[in-house]
Amino acid sequence: MDRALATPEWISLFPLAKLYHLSSSVLDHAPIVLRMLPKPRGRKQKKPFRFESMWLKDQRCEQVVIDAWHRGLISAEGNVMQNCLEQCRSSLEDWNKKVFGHVGKKVAELQNKVEWLELQPSSTEINQALRSTRFELNSWLDKEDAMWRQRSRLNWFQARDRNT
C-alpha cells in the first residue's frame, strides 16, 4: 500500500490492507486490487488423483496395479473394492513420484545427453549409447505426447465447446 496516500487514521483502521497494482498487456491503464485481509495461509489442497494415460506406456505400471490390487484384496477391513482402488491410487502416486518421475525433466535430460553424445568422437560405444539414448528419448516423448493429449481432452471436457 502506498503509505503516502493513506492517512494515519486510515492505516490504524485497516492495518492489514494492501494495495496491488496489476499489469495488463492489453489495457492502457493499470488495474488495482485492494486486499483488506491477508491471504489465508492454509494448507495446500491436495490435487485429486487422476490416472495418467502415459503410465500405460511403461511396462512397470501393470505390475504396480496388480500388486496394489492384491494388497487391497488381502486387507480385511471395509469394502473390498474400495480397499483395492485406494491401494491402487496410493501405489500409483508413490510409483509416479519415486520411479516414473517427471516427464518434462526426463525428456530435457535425454535431449541434453543426445546433444552431448553427438559432439563426441565417433566410436562403437558412442554410437551404441547414442542409439539407445535416442530410443529412450523417443519413448519418453511418446509418454509426454500421451500426457498432453489427455490434458487437452480434460480441458475440453471441463470448458466444453464454447463456440457452439
Side-chain half-sphere of 45: how many Cα atoms within 13 Å? 4
- At 101, give phi and psi (nearest 5°): 85, -175
Contact between 110 and 144 (Cβ < 8 Å) = no
Indicate the pTM of the whole model.
0.61
Q: Tell me: the pLDDT tens digits for 111-155? A: 999 999 999 999 999 999 999 999 999 999 999 999 998 888 766
Q: What percent of the chain has pLDDT over 70?
A: 81
C-alpha cell at 105: 525433466
33 forms bridges with which residues in the sheet?
Answer: 20
Close Cβ partners of 64 (under 8 Å, ≥ 6 residues apart): 91, 92, 95
